[in-house]
A and B are shown apart, each in its own frame.
Chain A
Amino acid sequence: RKEVEQDPGPFNVPEGATVAFNCTYSNSASQSFFWYRQDCRKEPKLLMSVYSSGNEDGRFTAQLNRASQYISLLIRDSKLSDSATYLCAVTTDSWGKFQFGAGTQVVVTP
């Protein structure tokens, strides 16, 4: 079993709709959680950190469920520019070694 798993998608979302997807992790000692966005043929860029109490950044909401060992990302009022692959990243140690999921592809359609 992979340490970090994501539904690869694609999630086809009409513009203006809401989409949500999860990322499960296997190591209960995981400490820090992040969502990255990766556009085609580009590097991953930090979208947001995920805090224990959940957090919001504009149209994006991240949640952490430690009991069930998953994090989630919700995108409200989807824009065409939200089309990308969303990678979750989990770290269990202070050395900063991240385990990445393989990404969830989101395609926002007009």
Chain B
Amino acid sequence: DTAVSQTPKYLVTQMGNDKSIKCEQNLGHDTMYWYKQDSKKFLKIMFSYNNKELIINETVPNRFSPKSPDKAHLNLHINSLELGDSAVYFCASSRRPKSYTFGSGTRLTVV
């Protein structure tokens, strides 16, 4: 019944590894987002897809690559993880330009 679900909830990995985070929404929304929340609690947009099309691509290292196989799914793949990538990553969905529904977050720790 979860509206926006992300997996995994926690991810601890070593520098240099490649990892993926998955997100799925069952709300029928047309737009999905990835946000990063750093240690200062600042939520910053990374990417947005509308009906599988990339519409927002903020200044994010190209080690981060989003993929949207369909409008209900938006995954995030991160190559060559760095210490500075440690953060909480939130997936969200909306029916533009309405407010977001967030997933519960993925706490990524790079060691």
Identify the A interface with B (CB < 8 A).
31-32, 34, 38, 41-46, 49, 85, 87, 89, 91, 93-100, 102-103
Contact = CB atoms under 8 A, between A and B. Distances in A.
A44 B40 CA distance: 15
B97 A32 contact: yes
Contacts of B96: 94-96
A95 B41 contact: no
B48 A95 contact: yes
Given A95-B50, A97-B56, A46 B42 contact: no
Given A95-B48, A100-B42, A34 B99 contact: yes
A44 B94 contact: no
A43 B97 contact: no
Given A42-B104, A46-B99, A46-B100, A95 B56 contact: yes
A31 B55 CA distance: 19
Interface string B57-83: 000000000000000000000000000
25 contacts: A31-B97, A34-B99, A42-B104, A43-B103, A43-B104, A44-B102, A46-B99, A87-B43, A89-B100, A94-B96, A94-B97, A95-B31, A95-B48, A95-B56, A96-B31, A96-B33, A96-B48, A96-B94, A96-B96, A97-B45, A97-B48, A100-B42, A102-B41, A102-B42, A103-B41
